[in-house]
Amino acid sequence: MVGTPKPGWQDVPLLESFREFNVPTGLDTDVNAAALAEGRWGAARGLHTFSYVTVGTGVGVGIVVDRRSLRGLGHPEAGHQRVPRLPGSLWPGHCPFHGDCVEGLAAGPAIQARTGVPAAQLPEDHPAWEEVVHALAGLFHNLVLTVVPERIIVGGGVFGGQQQLLPRVQRALLVSLAGYAHALRIVPRVEEFLVAPALGARSGSLGAIALARQALADAAA
Amino acid sequence: MVGTPKPGWQDVPLLESFREFNVPTGLDTDVNAAALAEGRWGAARGLHTFSYVTVGTGVGVGIVVDRRSLRGLGHPEAGHQRVPRLPGSLWPGHCPFHGDCVEGLAAGPAIQARTGVPAAQLPEDHPAWEEVVHALAGLFHNLVLTVVPERIIVGGGVFGGQQQLLPRVQRALLVSLAGYAHALRIVPRVEEFLVAPALGARSGSLGAIALARQALADAAA
């Protein structure tokens, strides 16, 4: 492991601990693992390019291309994308790095810092939801036009606790895309494009199994 | 071809025209072709994941993963990403779809619409460059944290005509990333991370050759 802010984990050779078992191993982030599981057994079965976004204590984004999580210099941290603010909004945001990036506006701790109430207990008609919806629509707009996913799966505690949120974000995404290009193929079926996860709390452990299967297949190839 | 705004090209079966030659064929966007060429022979040789951005009459973004241009529902149109405005700026932008998306703020026609002067003739110290730099830094910030490219190549007429622009955008990107994660590995070498193209005007034709070689290799596999 490299470059983690988690105390004690910096430069820990995690995969070394498993060397004694002499089997193929894989390592990935929690959100990427959940994405791989949804791709094999869940809401993204059969898709080539898709994304899994979790909005909870942070905003995590996994991107899968051809059954593998996308990685370059490292893994995606697209929850820290910068997006336009809701016009007139001046709250500085809650991200220690960027202030009002998507995570700084829409993650659970940001919502609680702004309103004093945990996201799950915040009334549906609280005005703070407007900026959450706006920030997430900006993130999904940018994901659609960058990764061009066939589907985006949205999970995490904030969505799980607020049934109103997914349809609101679906509508805001269509408004933001403004009919552009791929939007033409998303408009009539946005409920099938931006969807809830199928595997729920099992996506993490199933993701570990998906990773292990991939490591085994890679070792055999 | 599907879903193009170019008159007369909607639903034209372009590859059909080449069927009589009975050879493998490939089709991709101009910016993706240039990206593939830079990956084989130019500024991204040997890299697994990189991006090629052109800022000219529009803002085009090609993304290459493992020698192939990334595509899902279609090709990326990440020049239409939504990013934060420069604080205090109220110009509505020039994109007919989104107004103040990146292309609506930073492409050549946007600069000319705003200032009345072609981008190449606009003085280096004109205040309009501030918003161009800010919008492009937002795009590169989002690309870094989403695609996590090992390098971003930046070309096109607007950069070609303004030598000041690349170093300004390099600095603005570091400010925007604010030391987060991968930024730690970009900071000491941003001049090698955000770079000019190596192939110049030849990238288009070399890109077509790269595409043809890929089609040939795919047919043989």
Cα distances (angstroms) measured from residue B20 to each of B15, B17, B24, B25: 10, 7, 11, 11
Note whether B176 contacts A142, CB cutoff 8 Å.
Answer: no
Give the pLDDT score at B4: 64
Note whether B83 contacts A83, CB cutoff 8 Å.
Answer: yes
Question: Which ipTM value was assigned to this complex?
Answer: 0.94
Q: How far apart are CA A202 and CA A187, in angstroms?
A: 30
Q: Which amino acid is located at A204 in the chain? A: G
Give the pLDDT score at A11: 79
Q: How far apart are the first and last CA of chain B?
A: 26
Give the pLDDT score at B93: 98
- Report which of residues A25 and A9 the model is more confident about: A25
Q: Which of A1, A145, A177, A180 to mutate to test the interface with B (most CBs of B within 10 A)?
A: A145
Give the pLDDT score at B107: 98
* Chain A residue closest in CA terms to B3: A181
Please name the residue that has the structure tokens 């991939």: A214
Q: Are strands B59-65 and B194-195 parallel, antiparallel or unpaired?
A: unpaired
> For the purposes of burial, counting CB atoms within 10 Å of the CB of A81, is it exposed (0-12), middle (13-18) or buried (19 or more)?
buried
pLDDT profile of chain B (221 residues), mean per 10: 68 83 90 96 97 97 95 93 95 96 98 97 97 98 96 95 96 92 81 95 91 92 86
The phi-psi region of residue A42 (left if phi > 0; otherwise alpha if psi is between -120 and 50; otherwise beta) is beta
Give the pLDDT score at B174: 95
Each residue's pLDDT tens digit, A26-57: 889 999 999 999 999 999 999 999 999 999 99
Give the pLDDT score at B1: 53
**Percentage of chain A surpassing pLDDT 70?**
96
Residues 6+ apart with CB under 8 A from B109: B57, B94
The answer on pLDDT for A6 being more than 80 is no
Give the pLDDT score at B183: 72
Give the pLDDT score at A8: 82
Q: Report chain A's mean pLDDT, rounded to a whole number.
A: 93
Give the pLDDT score at B221: 86
Give the pLDDT score at B13: 82
Average pLDDT over residues A111-139: 97
Q: Are strands A59-65 and B49-55 parallel, antiparallel or unpaired?
A: unpaired
Q: How far apart are CA A48 and CA A44, in angstroms?
A: 9
The answer on pLDDT for A18 being more than 60 is yes
Q: Which of A148, A153, A194 to mutate to test the interface with B (most CBs of B within 10 A)?
A: A148
Cα distances (angstroms) measured from residue B178 to each of A38, A62, B83, B154: 33, 22, 16, 21
* Predicted confidence band of residue A181 (pLDDT cuts 50, 70, 90): low
Taking alpha carbons only, the member of A155, A57, A161, A159 closest to residue A110 is: A57
Phi, psi of A70 (to 5 degrees): -70, 130
| Contact indicator for B128, B47 with CB cutoff of 8 Å | no
CA-based nearest distance B7→chain A, Å:
15
Q: How far apart are CA B129 and CA B2, in angstroms?
A: 35
Q: Which amino acid is located at A109 in the chain? A: P
Give the pLDDT score at B182: 67
DSSP string, chain A: --S--STTTTT--GGGGGGGG-S------HHHHHHHHHHHHSTTTT-SEEEEEEESSSEEEEEEETTEE--SSS---GGG---PPPTT-----SBTTTBSSHHHHHSHHHHHHHHSS-GGGS-TT-THHHHHHHHHHHHHHHHHHHT--SEEEEESHHHHT-TTHHHHHHHHHHHHHTT-TTHHHHGGGHHHHEE--SSGGGHHHHHHHHHHHHHHHHHH-
Note whether A70 contacts B148, CB cutoff 8 Å.
Answer: yes
Tokens encoding B186:
């970009």
Give the pLDDT score at B3: 60
Give the pLDDT score at B148: 95
Closest CB to B148: pick one of A48, A74, A142: A74
Q: Which amino acid is located at A12 in the chain? A: V
Give the pLDDT score at A13: 82
**To 5 degrees, how large is the angle CA A31–CA A33–CA A39?**
105
Q: Are strands A49-55 and B59-65 parallel, antiparallel or unpaired?
A: unpaired
* Chain B residue closest in CA terms to A80: B145
- By the CB < 8 Å criterion, does B86 face chain A? no
The phi-psi region of residue A200 (left if phi > 0; otherwise alpha if psi is between -120 and 50; otherwise beta) is left
The answer on pLDDT for A16 being more than 90 is no
Q: Which of B47, B142, B190 to mutate to test the interface with A (most CBs of A within 10 A)?
A: B142
User: What predicted TM-score, i.e. pTM, was given to this entire model?
Assistant: 0.94
Average pLDDT over residues A108-134: 97
CA-based nearest distance B145→chain A, Å:
5
Give the pLDDT score at B106: 98
B143 neighbourhood in chain A, CB within 8 Å:
146
CA-based nearest distance B62→chain A, Å:
9
